[in-house]
Amino acid sequence: MATVKGATAEVPSSRPGRRDAHGNPDWVGAIARRHLGKIAGGVSLGLVAAAAGLAQPALIGQLISAVGSNSDLVLPIVLVLLLFGTEALFTAVQAYAMGRTGERIVYETRTALIDRVLFADFARFSALRLGDIASRIVADTSMLKVALSQSVATIMVDSAMLVGGIVLMYLIDPLLLGVTAICMAVSSVVSLLLARRLRIAAQRVRAIMGDFGADLHRAIGALGTVKACRAESLESKRIGGLALAARRSGIRVSALGSLLSPAMSLGLQASLAAVIVTGMGRVATGSMNPADLTAFIMYLFYLVSPLVTLFMGIGQFQQGRGAIGRINELASLDQEEQVRQDSALADAAASPVDNGGVAGVEFQRVRFAYEQEPALRDVSFSVPARGLTAIVGPSGAGKTTLFQLLMRFYPSQGGRILLGGENIEAIPVHALRGLVGYVQQESITLRGTIGENLVYGEEHATSAEIDRALELSGLEEFVGRLPNGLDTRIGDSGVGLSGGQRQRLAIARMLIRRPSVLLLDEATSNLDSDSELALRHSIRNIASECCVISVAHRMSTVVDADKIVVLEDGRVRETGTHRQLLRTSPTYQRLTSIQFHADQTNDVSLTGRDSLPAVPGGH
């Protein structure tokens, strides 16, 4: 079983065989079945309480008879008090036990979902909306407590009470029971129809809440852009619209839910009136004694509460079914099973991945399409085991896609990618991602301290390794100046750090792993000239130890490269050094010309190891 740091992930070991109403594997059912024993125990406690309750009207009937016949009252009174106490005690213990089991089911479902999401296949995961995922993990799971423990117990105990009550009422007077049944039948049918509509309405609320969460997450995550576009009112209206839809659907659920109990109460009141009229008539004619009529009416009153809570329980269970469907759907995400197994082994070994030295990279006729349009078309090039290789090309050329295939975020759809001469498909994904350090375009920082961000996923890093990474990434001085150093806390999305500092932190995080291959996707785009110059020297140092592949728009990074691959429209146009490409590649000339002017505008130094011989395009 895989583990998540800080908690044991209670993931069912294999995909459940049973499917839910939507055809997805029934993960929630599999988790709930593991607690059948506890649920049955809770139900048993409830049944004892119900039996104690059911015995009360019969004993009170006897008490009335004893009063009428001047018999000894002590024993009946003690027995009635005992029954009151037993009912109260068992009801309380049952509620606690079921609440506990419900919390356990919620916890196990949450940890299972978190695990399934974190190990999800990246391509499938990328198509989902983050806010909706959060809503399923946080809100939908919270509905399981009531739906799978309390309402299940309520439905079973109340059903048993009703059956017991009906049997006892039958024993007292079958005719009066017949009168009751006719009145109750109509209201039961109405209640069941209401419960069905309640389930459909509840499913709609869950779906709207998913949309609401997703939109909220999107807008808050991009608040800077929202403000810069003066789109606060637009977003407020859009998200407010979803909140309104949720309110309307929620009101519909409340309306249907609030009709359930009165529908049953009406049936009961009608039964009561009919029972009193019929019963009094039978008492008057002497075919029924008053004590039996009293006991029958008491049973009728006694069954009001279980009948109402039974239908409330059915309503809650129906609402929970909507949530269960959404949870099962999320849990059914395709998984990177290999990564799960490898990481479980690595956790067990409690040791970092051994990166085992240097390795070159080779793309051989690699093809890939996200959708219809190919992003890479027969891409072939090789990268030596040491040195800096730059990938340049216009936006949308497929540069990031190359990295994502090398990381096996997506499988290539043709050709091969070799790492150290071995097909990456043959390397366990977990090990591959230890060998290749990937600094993404958006330098993601996580909540926590700078130190925690640095050793993220590499908690065994030594202080010497941390110092080396800080030095190479040019963060040493900045961290040294901070009063709390590595213990300085940073907020979500790296709040508290500049864009350049975030980039350097992301690079340092990868350097700690001592990767064989370091992928830098626009990793210096946010740096000022001084920082960039410092980092360029660092990258050259790193490149002397391993293979660095850098996607770069800034010429200053490109001119430094030992090899440049020009990518356009998913194809490799040319490869060579800066000098060679300036002479031979029209695409490169165009790109350098644009960049030269852009860099001049940004006042970026163009002096590199292989400094520009002349203004590009001007020779």
Ligand X SMILES: Nc1ncnc2c1ncn2[C@@H]1O[C@H](COP(=O)(O)OP(=O)(O)OP(=O)(O)O)[C@@H](O)[C@H]1O
Distance CA 457, CA 433 (A): 11
Distance CA 106, CA 374 (A): 43
Quote the least distance from Cβ 502 to ligand X, whole Å: 18
6, 14, 371, 463: residue in contact with ligand X (rule CB under 6 A) = 371
Quote the least distance from Cβ 265 to ligand X, whole Å: 55
Q: Using the structure block, give the residue that is written with the tokens 């090039």.
A: 381
Q: Residue 328's CB: how many other CB atoms inside 10 A?
A: 25
Burial class (CB in 10 A: 0-12, 13-18, 19+), 289: middle
CB closer to ligand X, 326 vs 399: 399
- 396 part of the interface to ligand X, by CB under 6 A: yes
Number of residues that bind ligand X (CB under 6 A): 12
- 96 part of the interface to ligand X, by CB under 6 A: no
- 400 part of the interface to ligand X, by CB under 6 A: yes
- 500 part of the interface to ligand X, by CB under 6 A: no
| Closest by Cα among 157, 140, 54 to 105 | 140
* 172 CA to centre of own chain: 55
- 411 part of the interface to ligand X, by CB under 6 A: no
**Segment contacting ligand X by CB under 6 A, of 86-94, 151-159, 176-184, 394-402:** 394-402
- 399 part of the interface to ligand X, by CB under 6 A: yes
CB closer to ligand X, 179 vs 406: 406
**Segment contacting ligand X by CB under 6 A, of 81-89, 380-388, 395-403, 610-618:** 395-403
Quote the least distance from Cβ 392 to ligand X, whole Å: 9
**Segment contacting ligand X by CB under 6 A, of 324-332, 370-378, 413-421, 467-475:** 370-378
Quote the least distance from Cβ 569 to ligand X, whole Å: 9
Phi, psi of 566 (to 5 degrees): -100, 120
Distance CA 374, CA 353 (A): 34
Enumerate residues 6+ apart whose C-beta is below 8 A from 395. none
- 14 part of the interface to ligand X, by CB under 6 A: no
Both tokens assigned to 76: 């009946």
CB closer to ligand X, 397 vs 547: 397
* 215 CA to centre of own chain: 16
Beta strands 374-383 and 547-551, pairing class: unpaired
CB closer to ligand X, 401 vs 503: 401
Residues in contact with ligand X, shown as a per-residue x/- string from 132 to 171 under the rule CB under 6 A = ----------------------------------------
CB closer to ligand X, 49 vs 551: 551
Both tokens assigned to 72: 């000894």
Distance CA 426, CA 352 (A): 20
Quote the least distance from Cβ 413 to ligand X, whole Å: 13
Phi, psi of 362 (to 5 degrees): -140, 125
CB closer to ligand X, 90 vs 368: 368
- 370 part of the interface to ligand X, by CB under 6 A: yes
CB closer to ligand X, 157 vs 552: 552
CB closer to ligand X, 124 vs 489: 124
22, 84, 92, 126: residue in contact with ligand X (rule CB under 6 A) = 126
Residues in contact with ligand X, shown as a per-residue x/- string from 372 to 391 under the rule CB under 6 A = ---x----------------
Report how far apart, in Å, the C-alpha atoms of 568 and of each of 162, 432, 483 are.
74, 27, 47
Could you tell me which residues are beta bridge partners of residue 45?
Answer: none
Quote the least distance from Cβ 188 to ligand X, whole Å: 52
How close are the terminal C-alpha atoms of the chain, in Å?
64
Quote the least distance from Cβ 368 to ligand X, whole Å: 9
DSSP letters, 555-573, are: HHHHHT-SEEEEEETTEEE
- 554 part of the interface to ligand X, by CB under 6 A: no
CB closer to ligand X, 334 vs 467: 334
CB closer to ligand X, 151 vs 404: 404
CB closer to ligand X, 433 vs 553: 553
Reported as type and span, the H/E element at residue 224 is helix 223-228
Report how far apart, in Å, the C-alpha atoms of 246 and of each of 202, 251, 258, 370 are.
10, 8, 18, 34
Distance CA 319, CA 148 (A): 11
Quote the least distance from Cβ 377 to ligand X, whole Å: 11
Quote the least distance from Cβ 145 to ligand X, whole Å: 37
Quote the least distance from Cβ 543 to ligand X, whole Å: 21
CB closer to ligand X, 126 vs 611: 126
- 393 part of the interface to ligand X, by CB under 6 A: yes
- Amino acid letter for position 518: L
Torsion of CA 483, 487, 493, 498, to 10 degrees: 30
Maximum pairwise Cα distance, the chain? 125
- Looking from the CA of 102 toward its CB, the CA atoms found within 13 Å total 22
CB closer to ligand X, 278 vs 595: 595
Burial pattern 452-468, b for ≥16 Cβ within 10 A else e, equals: ebbbbebeebeeebbeb
Quote the least distance from Cβ 393 to ligand X, whole Å: 6
- 395 part of the interface to ligand X, by CB under 6 A: yes
Question: Under the rule (CB under 6 A), what is the footprint of ligand X?
Answer: 126, 370-371, 375, 393, 395-401
